[in-house]
Amino acid sequence: DPALAQQEEDLYTRGLVDLIRQHRPDILLAGATSLGRSFIPRVAAILETGLTAGCTALEIAPESKLLLQTRPTYGGNLIATIICPEKRPQMVTVRPHAFKRGELDELRQGEVIRVDFDKESVTSRTKILHLLEDLTERVKLEEADIIICGGRGLGKAENFQMIAELAEVLHAALGSSRPPVDDGWIPYSHQVGQTGKTVSPKLYIACGVSGAPQHLAGMQTSEIVIAINEDPQAPIFEVATYGIVGDLFKIVPMLTAKLKQIRS
């Protein structure tokens, strides 16, 4: 419906609440995207049911058949498994890329039911005036096959240019740990981790990132991780496929120059 083309949360909320009341599902799964994070809690509040936001694992309990909803908590220091035994639906949002994409199984067919949206019955309290594009994001972080991530080890905003050059040669997206975002070196849309984006690229190159649990929560399903860090004890090496112990200000330009040479 054209009325739903833009992110109108009041309309989405009312539409989904009506559908849930009509179809009475046992479980409702949604993406913990900016849209899901924004309107799914409103749906749960109206239905007076529980919601576990930002799950990283889901399972059905063998006996009770309840949905086991697992997510990091207390700043990533604990992993909690939560159940919603009484209220329905059991609602969760799931972090994008927290799960590897499954193989297509032609035998398992779902039924798609198309429903009409009655926009006359709802009024939106918000109005979108205009949308701004993030001009710093050349390759979308969530969709990138390769991500070059900079951490506090870069030292200052200007040094992001050095890893941006490496990203350009590899057609990679630029990621960041939280401190550079907090210090205003790079916009929030680049942040990887518990309070940023969850990514799962084929190759993740972490430059000057220590590997705090809150950062690992956002990138540990990457296929190959290369860590460049001068501290051999840095926790990032525990999840790295390949580790380079050394000064990133020497290693990154060498890598960029070598790749440029190979490409030309």
Ligand X SMILES: Cc1cc2nc3c(=O)[nH]c(=O)nc-3n(C[C@H](O)[C@H](O)[C@H](O)COP(=O)(O)OP(=O)(O)OC[C@H]3O[C@@H](n4cnc5c(N)ncnc54)[C@H](O)[C@@H]3O)c2cc1C
What is the per-residue binding string for ligand X in 106-125, x denoting contact by CB under 6 A? --------------------
The sign of the torsion formed by the CA atoms of 174, 146, 255, 239 equals positive
Closest CB to ligand X among residues 15, 54: 54
Number of helices (H) and strands (E) in the chain: give both, helices first.
Answer: 7, 11
Region for 203 from its dihedrals, namely left if φ exceeds 0, alpha if ψ lies in -120 to 50, beta otherwise: beta
Task: Enter the tokens of residue 85.
Answer: 């035994």
* Closest distance to ligand X from the beta carbon of 140 (Å): 18
Told to check if 152 binds ligand X by CB under 6 A, we report: yes
Looking at 37-45, 88-96, 109-117, 145-153, which segment touches ligand X (CB under 6 A)?
A: 145-153
Closest CB to ligand X among residues 36, 89: 36
Kindly give, in sequence order, each residue whose CB lies less than 8 Å from that of residue 110, ignoring residues fewer than 6 positions away.
none
Span 179-218, contacts to ligand X by CB under 6 A = 179, 191-196, 208-210, 212, 214-215, 218
Told to check if 73 binds ligand X by CB under 6 A, we report: no
User: Which strands make up the sheet holding 203-207, listed edge to edge?
Assistant: 173-176, 146-150, 203-207, 224-229, 242-245
Task: Enter the tokens of residue 209.
Answer: 């990132």
Told to check if 95 binds ligand X by CB under 6 A, we report: no
Told to check if 231 binds ligand X by CB under 6 A, we report: yes
Is there a contact between 170 and 164 (Cβ–Cβ < 8 Å)?
A: no
List interacting residues with ligand X (CB under 6 A): 75, 151-153, 177-179, 191-196, 208-210, 212, 214-215, 218, 228-231, 234, 247-249
